[in-house]
Amino acid sequence: MRRLLLVLMLVAFPFPGGQASSQGTAPDEAARFLGALGNEAIAVLGNQTTTLEQREAQVRALLSQNFDLKTIGRFVLGRAWRKASPGQQAEYQRLFEEYVLRTYTRRLGGYAGEKFRIVKTQPLGEKDALVTTEIGRPSGPPLLAGWRVRNSGSGHKILDVMVEGVSMAQTQRSEFGALVRRQGVDGLIEALRARVEKFSARAS
């Protein structure tokens, strides 16, 4: 269960970029979006008639389509984003997105057996909505997760999931910030490249 939650925990702080409607994100629309996505993800992960490789491909597509990885990537890099060259920014984003997709596609691919329901929804700041869900487990008490959703020009996207007060992206931002201070943006890029290549080696 923890693996399912960690894959979806993507930041609880103000985000740069992205276009929201003049009224922001309607909570009821965010709830419908997230409910449909959650049910689709549970169905994919619980479908044991497909192979692990097929489930992983479907999970990757869901993550890529419904998480705003570009905005998350800029947030995670923090102040170093503005100091990076255009070439560094492009390579960092490419590697960050591939790292996130490969990491959590693999972690989720073999998962099955949970239930998902919307508990409540509310506005969050001027642009976003926070949707709280309950994820039931075959063993153990249900867990609450808070999802930050933004209605951008390309539709609803997930910016964050908070579980037990922990934000994966904020944690990642701290880790990346420490690495940039020690080795610079190029050092972070090389570290991400090594992680992506490690995944490729395991798959071969």
Domains: count for the chain? 1
Q: Could you tell me the residue range of the domain that residue 157 belongs to? A: 2-198
Helix H, strand E, coil C: the string for 11-54 is CCCCCCCCCCCCCCCCHHHHHHHHHHHHHHHHHHHHCCCCCHHH
Helix H, strand E, coil C: the string for 185-197 is HHHHHHHHHHHHH
Report mean pLDDT in 10-residue bins for the chain, 204 residues.
Answer: 46 51 82 92 87 89 93 94 96 95 77 80 92 81 86 86 78 93 97 90 60
Asked if residue 158 is part of any domain, the answer here is: yes
Q: What is the pTM of this model?
A: 0.81
How high is the pLDDT of residue 9? 45
Strand order from edge to edge, sheet including 143-152:
115-124, 128-136, 143-152, 155-163, 166-167
DSSP-derived secondary structure for 100-139: HHHHHHHHHHT----EEEEEEEEEETTTEEEEEEEEE-SS
Asked if residue 176 is part of any domain, the answer here is: yes
How high is the pLDDT of residue 11? 37
How far, in Å, CA of 167 to CA of 26, rounded? 23
Asked if residue 151 is part of any domain, the answer here is: yes
Asked if residue 203 is part of any domain, the answer here is: no
Domain with residue 154: its CATH number is 3.10.450.710
Beta pairing partners, 162: 146, 167
Strands 155-163 and 128-136: unpaired
Asked if residue 204 is part of any domain, the answer here is: no
Asked if residue 143 is part of any domain, the answer here is: yes
